[in-house]
Amino acid sequence: MPLYPRLRPTLTQQDVIDCFGGYDHRLRIPDGCWYDTKNLSSDHAPMLASRPPRGDTHIRAAALAEKDALAYVSEDGTLYYNFLPTPLTGLASGDKQIVGMGAYLVLFPDKLYLNTEDQTDHGSLEAHYHASSAHYEMVRGDGAAIGADYIQPLPPAEPANGEYWIDTSGERHALRQWSAAQNDWVGIETAYVKITFPTLGTVPALFREGDGVTISGSETEGVNGERILCALGGGEEEADWIMVTGLLEQAVTDGGLTIERRVPPLDYVCECQNRLWGCWYGEDGGRAVNEIFCCALGDFRNWRQYRGLSTDSWSGSVGSDGPWTGAVNYLGCPTFFKADRIHRVSVSAEGAHAIGETVCRGVQKGSARSLCVVNETLYYKSPGDVCAYQGGFPRGISAALGETRFHGAAAGAVNGKYYLSMLDEAGTPSLFVYDIARELWLREDALHAAAFARVDDELYAIANGELLTLLGSLPVPGATGEGSVDWEAVTGVEYYTVPENKRVSRYQIRLRMAPGAQFSVFVQYDSNGVWRSAGSISAVRAETGSHLFPVRPRRCDHLQLKLAGSGDVRVFSVARILEVGSDYR
* Co-location of 137 and 245 in the same domain: yes
Residue 471 is assigned to a structural domain of this protein: no
On whether residue 229 sits in a domain, the answer given is yes
Q: Give the model's pLDDT for residue 571.
A: 94
Decide if pLDDT at 345 tops 60.
yes
Name beta bridge partners: 328.
Answer: 335
Where residue 499 falls among pLDDT bands split at 50, 70, 90? low
% of the chain exceeding 90 in pLDDT:
72
Residue-level pLDDT at 284: 87
Higher pLDDT, 58 or 585: 58
Q: What is the CA radius of gyration of the chain?
A: 35
Helical segments of 165-234, H only: 202-206
Whether 39 and 147 share a structural domain: no
Same-domain status, 17 and 134: no
Last residue of a domain, one of 447, 478, 509: 447
Query: Could you tell me which residues are beta bridge partners of residue 225?
Result: 215
Residue closest to 208 by CA, chosen among 278, 103, 89, 127 = 127
Q: 247 and 169 in one domain?
A: yes
Q: 421 and 494: one domain?
A: no
411 neighbors 38 (Cβ within 8 angstroms): no
441 — pLDDT class (breaks 50, 70, 90) = very high
Q: Does 323 fall in a domain?
A: no
Asked if residue 27 belongs to a domain, the reply is yes
pLDDT for residue 11 = 65
Higher confidence at residue 158 or residue 459?
A: 459
Q: Are 520 and 410 part of one and the same domain?
A: no
133 shares a domain with 239: yes
How far apart are the C-alpha atoms of 370 and 353, rounded to whole Å?
Answer: 27
Over residues 338-359, mean pLDDT: 95
Do 514 and 401 have their domain in common? no
Res. 582: pLDDT tops 60: no
Question: Of 157, 230, 220, 235, which Cα lies nearest the Cα of 189?
Answer: 230
Number of structural domains, the chain? 3
The number of helices, as runs of H, and strands, as runs of E, in the chain is 1, 53
Whether 585 shows a pLDDT value over 50: the answer reads: no
Q: What local confidence, expressed as pLDDT, does residue 279 receive?
A: 97
Q: Which stretch, 147-156, 215-224, 472-481, 487-496, has highest mean pLDDT?
A: 472-481
Q: What is the pLDDT of residue 584?
A: 45
Work out the widest C-alpha separation in the chain, in whole angstroms. Answer: 153
Query: Of 261, 295, 317, which residue sits at a domain end?
Result: 261
Q: Per the domain annotation, does 304 fall within a domain?
A: no
Residues 432 and 540 reside in one and the same domain: no
pLDDT band at 143 (very low <50, low <70, confident <90, very high): confident
Mean pLDDT of the chain: 91
Do residues 390 and 511 both lie within one domain?
no
| pLDDT score for 314 | 96
Domain-located, residue 324:
no
pLDDT of residue 246: 87
d(CA 379, CA 63): 21
Quick one: pLDDT at residue 501?
A: 59
In a domain, 459, yes or no: no
**CATH code of the domain in which 555 resides:** 2.60.120.260
Residue ending a domain, among 202, 235, 261, is 261
pLDDT of residue 405: 96
Bigger pLDDT: 446 vs 544: 446
Same domain, 518 and 443: no
Amino acid occupying residue 331: L
At 120-142, the pLDDT tens digits run 999 999 999 999 999 999 998 88
Q: Are 131 and 256 in a shared domain?
A: yes
Residue 221 has pLDDT above 90, yes or no: no
Of the candidate ranges 1-5, 67-71, 244-248, 538-542, the one whose mean pLDDT is the lowest: 1-5
Cα–Cα distance measured from residue 447 to residue 154, given in angstroms and rounded to the nearest whole number:
79
424-443 burial code (b ≥16 CB/10 A, e <16): eeeeebbbbbbbbeeebbbb
List the domain range (segments joined by +) for residue 401.
360-447
Gap between the Cα atoms of 399 and 388, Å rounded: 13
State yes or no: pLDDT of 8 exceeds 80: no
Residue 5: per-residue pLDDT: 72
Asked if the structure places residue 239 within a domain, the reply is: yes
pLDDT digit string, tens, across residues 444-474: 999 999 999 999 999 999 999 999 999 999 9
Calpha distance 12→377 (Å, rounded): 47
User: For residue 504, what pLDDT is reported?
Assistant: 79
What pLDDT, on a 0 to 100 scale, did the predictor assign at position 69? 94
pLDDT of residue 496: 56
Contact 507, 561 (CB under 8 A): yes
